[in-house]
Structure 1
Amino acid sequence: MLLQQRNDEITTNGATQDQRNADDDKPVIRMMVLETDEPDDETKERKGESFGEILHEHFAAAGAKHDPPLGIETDRRFVIPEKGGKIPKYEDFEGCHALLITGSVYDAHGDDPWILELMELLRELWKNHPKMHFSGVCFGHQILCRMLGATVRPSPSNEWELGHSRVELNPVGKRLFRTDDDYVHLHQMHQDQVVEPPTVGSAKGLLEKGTEVEVWGHSEHTKVQGVFIRGKLFTTQAHLAFDKGMVEKQIEMRMDMGSIEDTQHANEAAETADMEHDGERVAAAILRFFHDEDDGVE
């Protein structure tokens, strides 16, 4: 088991970056994970103590299959103050060139003080850390798009997109995921969505004139399944690291909270939890993005 301590430990494979580079000269991606939620107790026992730990393992597996292999270091920070977390400072990101924001039960369009503080941090990093690569999952995808001026709100029907879902790929998505298929399958757990991708105008100075903001895929439920800005941003609405147990538990928790009211829809989605999905393909694509490969997307 990897040794990890909240808010002050870099996750490694038992060696420092210099030691690993000396051993195999493997490039290493240094990723900061901002945790905006905690796993349930069952998931902690089975998968890891935090979403950052779970994502580290997911990206480490993708890195091992990269040609040549890529290493991954993960510094994880839990950011919700009322639950014992803290928003990191700009200085804490020195030496990191990849940022990933997790999913959350919180609304990315909300005005909770920690969400507003997080957005200020993201703006500062975006403006003053030009080599930083930004990524986000579900809530993370939405908060990054909101930071760039996009509107985030519940779906018009108030329906949830749950469980194993088909995401249609456009040419950008096909190139990013290195596939000729017209779609990927991914696990979803959201009601809120990004209505339209950010624009140079909506970003109010955060995007240079001429910056191309591209959506890489859509589903029947959600028009913007992910956003891509070459060398800067790669997000996904779907959960790339969810498995059967996590999908089932997350649906159960949201039903218990009263967030999901359509019991039939929830039960049908839970039954899809064990179906194969393309989360590893998405992790591999984001890792290539972190490594400045961008896979020929123009």
Structure 2
Amino acid sequence: MEKHEHEVTGDGQLPVVRMIVLETDEPHRETQSRRGTFGEILHHHFAAAGKAHDPPLGIETDRRFIVTENGGTMPKFSDFEDCHALLITGSVYDAHGDNPWILELLDLLKKLWIHHPKLLFSGVCFGHQLICRLLGAEIARSPSGDWELGHSAINLNDIGKCLFRTEDDKVYLHQMHQDQVVEPPTPSSSNGLLGPETKVKVWGWSDHTKVQGIYIRDRVFTAQAHLAFDQGMVLKQIEMRVESGCIEDMEHADEAAETADLEHDGEMVAAAILRFFHGNDTSIE
């Protein structure tokens, strides 16, 4: 069954950021009954960031569930005509996989990249990896085969500090991944999608994953970690992966679950991506 929902947050007088959220998975049923779909969760997260923005911004979200093998529908190129930005959610699927819907999504993203040059691209976890794959980066399991789970420290470089408007050397976010971007995309890897002078910036790294997100001015801002997960979501996502057999190291899973209640910097990351969507970071090269 197609899920195509639309929501606006704002008072009607505010500048509005219009984005399409491409839902590449569904939350645990308990999470969905409590907080909604991944798109709804992200809408409310960005709406809070918009309210805190100076001056405040409204958020208009068009949410599409696109996993066609599970009843979703892939949007058309024309659906993005009046859209400022797209955001691809996390997923249990492999971003390096060849599922028909993943290949169809990559084809759509390529067309949008070429023919909608003002559209801004963002992605979280799977979304981050898929955008990097679009631009020619390799996506693979971590060399050790282990997961990066739960509340995690991400080291920031100067670009990261500038994007997040912080002097801190780290941000803390919830992680839920085994795959990673091996190396950031480059103009030579991108099959012509990136111009020869394009600067692809990695904004942060961890001991597990050296590409925690990329930034391309006026085009891409991604994050490997989940900016909108709360304690309940972390616990249920770990539970789902243990039950499916994806996570076999129970000691690691239990340790990660114990960090689910720790405070994280998801609001800071949402604010940074929103500024990117609104065009506030033009000073960052």
* TM beyond 0.5: yes
SS of equivalent to 1:274: coil
CA contact (8 A) 2:16 2:59 kept: yes
SS in structure 1 at match of 2:176: strand
Using the alignment, how far apart are the partners of 2:221 and 2:55 within structure 1?
Answer: 22
- Paired position in structure 1 for 2:3: 6
**CA positional deviation for 1:295:** 5.9
Q: Which residue of 1 aligns with 2:66?
A: 79
1:55 aligned partner, one-letter code = L
For residues 217 and 66 of structure 2, what CA distance do their matches in structure 1 show? 27
1:36-63 Cα distance to aligned partner (Å, 9 max, x none): 0001111011111x10000000000000
Q: Give the letter for the 1:249 counterpart.
A: K
Distance across 2 between alignment mates of 1:296 and 1:257: 45
CA contact (8 A) 1:126 1:206 kept: yes
Aligned length: 284
1:117 to 92, 100, 104: 104
**Dislocated runs of 4+, deviation >4 Å:** none
Q: Does 1:276 align with 2:272?
A: no
Question: Among residues 258, 261, 268, which one is paired with 2:245 in the alignment?
Answer: 258
Structure 1: which amino acid aligns with 2:166?
A: T
Q: Does 1:244 align with 2:231?
A: yes
Counterpart check, 1:157 vs 2:144? yes
Which letter does structure 1 place at the counterpart of 2:253?
A
CA distance in 1, matches of 2:283, 2:212: 20
Q: Which runs of 5+ in 1 are unaligned?
A: none
Could you tell me which residue of structure 2 aligns to residue 290 of structure 1? 277
- SS of aligned partner of 1:296: coil
> Counterparts in 2 of 1:159-238, with a 5 A limit?
159-238=146-225
Q: Deviations over 1:195-244 (max 9, x none)?
A: 00000000011011100000000001000000000000000000000000
Match of 1:95 in 2: 82
- Give the aligned partner of residue 132 of structure 1: 119
- RMSD (CA atoms): 1.1
After superposition, give the CA deviation of every residue in 1:73-110 in whole Å (9 maximum; x if it has no partner).
00011011121101111011110011000000000000
Shift of 1:71: 0.6
Q: How does 1:7-86 map to 2 (within 5 A)?
A: 7=4, 9-13=5-9, 20-21=11-12, 24=13, 26-48=14-36, 50-86=37-73
Question: Hey, what's the Cα distance between the residues in 2 that align with 1:263 and 1:290?
Answer: 39
Check whether the contact 1:175–1:295 (CA below 8 A) recurs between aligned residues: no
Q: Answer yes or no: is the 8 Å Cα contact 2:66–2:73 preserved in 1.
A: yes
Q: Which deviates more from structure 2 when the two are superposed, residues 275-284 or residues 38-47? A: 38-47
What do the CA deviations read for 1:162-203 (whole angstroms, capped 9, x no partner)? 000000000000000000000000000000000000000000
What SS class does the counterpart of residue 215 from structure 2 fall into?
Answer: strand
Structure 1 residue identity aligned to 2:15: P
Counterpart code for 2:32 = K
Q: CA deviation at 1:10?
A: 1.9
Q: Is the contact made by 1:28 and 1:71 (CA closer than 8 Å) also made in structure 2? A: yes
SS in 2 for 1:276: coil
Indicate the SS of the match to 2:203: strand
TM (norm. structure 2) is: 0.98
- Percent identity, aligned pairs only, is 68
Write the distance in 1 (CA, Å) between the matches of 2:3 and 2:39. 10
Q: 2:253, 2:186 → 1: CA distance?
A: 34
**For the Cα contact (< 8 Å) 1:194–1:224, is it kept in 2?**
yes
Structure 2: distance between partners of 1:123 and 1:294: 24
Whether contact under 8 Å (1:170, 1:182) holds in the other structure is yes
